[in-house]
């Protein structure tokens, strides 16, 4: 069992992760539009998605989140390494 610690909004969050029991996701996660961000290259060929850190942790996506890559203008959002479906109003 591995202990993972995150500091988010001045709160320490300790999570316990058993690497053998990782949840297998069958479908693409639906992320509310206001809790996700999209960054595209100038050519439009490369796209990186970011999600709200708290929302991602609460929805069991911690193993798919890259906490070292944050959105340039909002540090509450980090990169999600799997495809997501952004839902809601733009």
Higher pLDDT, 74 or 89: 74
If one counts every other C-beta atom within 10 angstroms of the C-beta of residue 14, the result is: 8
Considering the entire predicted model, what is its pTM?
Answer: 0.69
Is the separation of the CB atoms in 73 and 40 below 8 Å? Answer: no
Q: What is the model's pLDDT at position 27? A: 81
pLDDT (average), residues 20-44: 81
User: Given the structure tokens 């995150």, which residue do they identify?
Assistant: 6
**Span 14-23, average pLDDT:** 50
β-sheet bridge partners, residue 57: none
Average pLDDT, the chain: 80
The predicted structure's pLDDT at residue 78: 97
């Amino acid at each position: 069992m591995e202990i993972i610690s995150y500091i988010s909004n001045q709160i320490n969050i300790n999570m316990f992760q058993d690497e053998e029991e990782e949840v297998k996701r069958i479908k693409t996660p639906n992320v509310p539009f206001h809790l996700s961000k999209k960054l595209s290259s100038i050519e439009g060929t490369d796209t990186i998605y970011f999600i709200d850190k708290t929302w991602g942790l609460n929805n069991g996506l911690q193993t798919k989140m890259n906490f070292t890559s944050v959105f340039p203008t909002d540090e509450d959002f980090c990169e999600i390494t799997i495809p997501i479906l952004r839902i809601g109003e733009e």
